[in-house]
Amino acid sequence: DWKLKGIDVASYTVADLVLVFSTKWSLRLANTIGLVKLVTLVFIRITGLVVLEDHISVKDPSANFRSAFAGTSSATTYGVTNALTKVVSSYMGYENAFNVVNEVKNPTKTLQWSAPLSLVTATLYVLANIAYFSCASKQEILDSKVVAAGLFFEKVFGTGGAASAVNFWICLSAFGNLLAVLIGQFRMLRECGRQGVLPLLHFGPRRKPFGTPLGPYVVKWAFTILMILAPPAGDAFNFIVDIAIYPVAFFGTLLGVGLVITRYRRARLGVPSPDYRAWPITIVFSIFS
């Protein structure tokens, strides 16, 4: 357990240091890794299609799709809700773009085409999961000590150098995701410090010695390391991570309701509509989801 925690602390610290040293290069690195991730997803989807067409020697690739709900008769309400929270978590991330919208050229126009395009990425993730289930049985995935993507490449390419290289890309992809999320969260903490909402007012905006705001980085790093080291590994840690989705969902609901109220008041006052408006159906879905 402590070995895993040590790896977690080291990985998070490295990501934090990358952001501390240079905001510009951390953004470039996150974007580059994101591009590699998209290429990897396309590759996984194509490979999964080849497997389903029986062009790769995988035993019964369609087995998981014939009885998809087998063994779920004993499912509990807790299990279903826990699964739903994990599904919701897997689709989180796009809102992170709004945290750095001030650094985007022509943000209104950019968001108008990038928002629908993000659905393509979501579709790629769904197709990637289909590819995973085409190569391994449900029990193999449950019993495996590696992530589903790693098991997928072991089944397709074996345990040689190719599988090891792909596993490295999986780790790099996770690191890029960590960078992207941290960049957005640090922006929020910095603004909270500037507004005096959090006790970062005195050192949050400072940009010495690397030209980056150290206050948010230090606070975020300290709380994250505490979260990694304090709870025991296993169910307790997973429970804390899973329960974090509830305040996020509650905040999203309040945000949607507040947006509806704001639009209603602006309409009564005759205030013109802004350049960028979320679709009403998406707001309703956000409130009730």
Same domain, residue pair 223 and 255: no
Q: What is the rounded CA–CA span in Å between residue 206 and residue 190? A: 10
Identify whether 62 is part of a domain: yes
Rg (CA), the chain: 22
For residue 82, the model assigns a pLDDT of: 75
Interior/surface letters 78-102, b for 16+ CB within 10 angstroms, e for the rest: eeeeeeebeeeeeeeeeebbebbee
pTM for this predicted structure: 0.74
- Which domain covers residue 263, as residue numbers? 244-289
Q: What is the rounded CA–CA span in Å between residue 5 and residue 250? A: 30
pLDDT tens by residue, 89-113? 777 677 777 777 777 788 878 877 8
Angle, to 10 degrees, between the axis of helix 148-157 and the axis of helix 23-52? 50
Same domain, residue pair 285 and 167: no
pLDDT tens by residue, 261-281? 999 998 898 888 877 777 888
Same domain, residue pair 281 and 198: no
Identify whether 236 is part of a domain: no
| 251: its two tokens | 């905040």
For residue 65, the model assigns a pLDDT of: 80
Identify whether 238 is part of a domain: no
Same domain, residue pair 12 and 146: yes
DSSP state of 274: P
Least confidently predicted of 132-136, 187-191, 228-232: 187-191
Same domain, residue pair 111 and 154: yes
Identify whether 263 is part of a domain: yes
pLDDT tens by residue, 30-78? 888 888 888 888 888 888 888 887 777 777 777 778 777 777 777 788 7
Q: Give the number of domains in the chain.
A: 2
Same domain, residue pair 199 and 251: no
Same domain, residue pair 199 and 89: yes
The values of phi and psi at residue 147, to 5°, are: -70, 165
* Confidence grade of residue 201 (pLDDT, cut at 50, 70, 90): very low
Same domain, residue pair 62 and 200: yes
Residues near 81 by beta carbon (within 8 Å), at least 6 away in sequence:
none
For residue 198, the model assigns a pLDDT of: 66
For residue 207, the model assigns a pLDDT of: 60
Same domain, residue pair 189 and 130: yes
Average predicted confidence (pLDDT) for the chain: 79
Identify whether 237 is part of a domain: no
For residue 183, the model assigns a pLDDT of: 82
> Do the Cβ atoms of 192 and 105 come closer than 8 Å?
no
192 or 255, which is more confident: 255
Q: Is the pLDDT of residue 9 over 70?
A: yes
Q: What is the rounded CA–CA span in Å between residue 80 and residue 30? A: 33
Q: What is the rounded CA–CA span in Å between residue 216 and residue 278? A: 30
Same domain, residue pair 39 and 170: yes
Q: For residue 13, give the nearest of 244, 222, 241 by alpha carbon.
A: 222
> Do the Cβ atoms of 37 and 176 come closer than 8 Å?
yes
**What percentage of the chain carries pLDDT values higher than 90?**
2
Burial of 43 (0-12, 13-18, 19+ CB in 10 A): middle
**What percentage of the chain carries pLDDT values higher than 70?**
90
Same domain, residue pair 79 and 40: yes
Residues near 35 by beta carbon (within 8 Å), at least 6 away in sequence:
none
Same domain, residue pair 167 and 286: no
Identify whether 267 is part of a domain: yes
DSSP 202-249: TTSS--TTTSS-HHHHHHHHHHHHHHHHSSPTTHHHHHHHHHTHHHHH
